[in-house]
Structure 1
Amino acid sequence: MFRYLIPFLIPATLAAEAPVIENATAERTGDTWRFDVTISHPDTGWDHYADGWEVLDANGNSLGLRTLFHPHVEEQPFTRSLTGVEIPDGTTSVFIRARCSVDGWSDERVEVSLTGS
């Protein structure tokens, strides 16, 4: 009797790691806000990399999107900024979430306080 071994194939999306927000800060600049966000992700090149992050209100509405146009294989973690973000009056905190080119938006959301900024 012959035994055949069938290898288990794990899709790349199951083995992939989501982008991690290492740090996020907000600074009021006149009537708008500037956000500096530090992300780490095991970018492998153009086929799989952290390709953006966004600012969300408490209801999940997007207030600003920072698209990342290239992989950061040799620069981990990395920080990118987004300026000119309009935040509704009375908002005391927002949330940042990151995205990668393969898995889409991460479930992780990091809260950023706007008080004292």
Structure 2
Amino acid sequence: MKMFTDLKNLFGIFIYLLICGTFVLTSSPVWAGEADVLDVKIAKTDADMFRFSVTVRHEDQGWDHYADKWDVLDMDGNVLGTRVLMHPHDNEQPFTRSMKISIPMHVKKVTVRAHDKVHGYGGAEIVLKLPNS
């Protein structure tokens, strides 16, 4: 009978720790993960001008942890343009924002990446060929 009581107490402690651990993980700002680029649409608007419409997904958690920008880079890693995101999108996921960028004529392919305030870069990126290049 004592062994059954001891096992019951251990099981209770295990459940308590499991519940506490789950609460800590889900309330942590790290839980939101990295910002992912889901889609990119590019339209050529002039000889060296392109309009980028970028769809980003990130589980924004208020002002301390949100996707705060996305970048367009050439294949050498040079940043060609950055779209700063001025506020969290807690209730708008995924979201799309646009920007026009002047891109040098020799650039034929670009990488689009997103950034968040906690993890920085590291989520899904998209590499694509520029239209009419």
Q: What is the TM-score normalised by the length of structure 2?
A: 0.73
Q: Point out the structure with the larger helix share.
A: 2
Task: Give yes or no for the alignment of 1:65 onto 2:102.
Answer: no
2:63 corresponds to which letter in structure 1? Answer: W
Q: Which runs of 4+ in 1 moved over 4 A?
A: 7-12
- In our comparison, the structure showing a higher alpha carbon Rg is 2
Aligned pairs for 1:1-117 within 5 A = 12-13=29-30, 15-30=31-46, 31-83=48-100, 85-106=101-122, 108-116=124-132
Q: Percent identity?
A: 41
Aligned residues: 111
Name structure 2 gaps, 5 residues minimum: 1-19
2:117 corresponds to which letter in structure 1? Answer: S
Q: Point out the structure with the larger strand share.
A: 1
Following superposition, the deviation at residue 47 of structure 1 comes to 1.4
CA contact (8 A) 2:37 2:126 kept: yes
Name structure 1 gaps, 5 residues minimum: 1-6
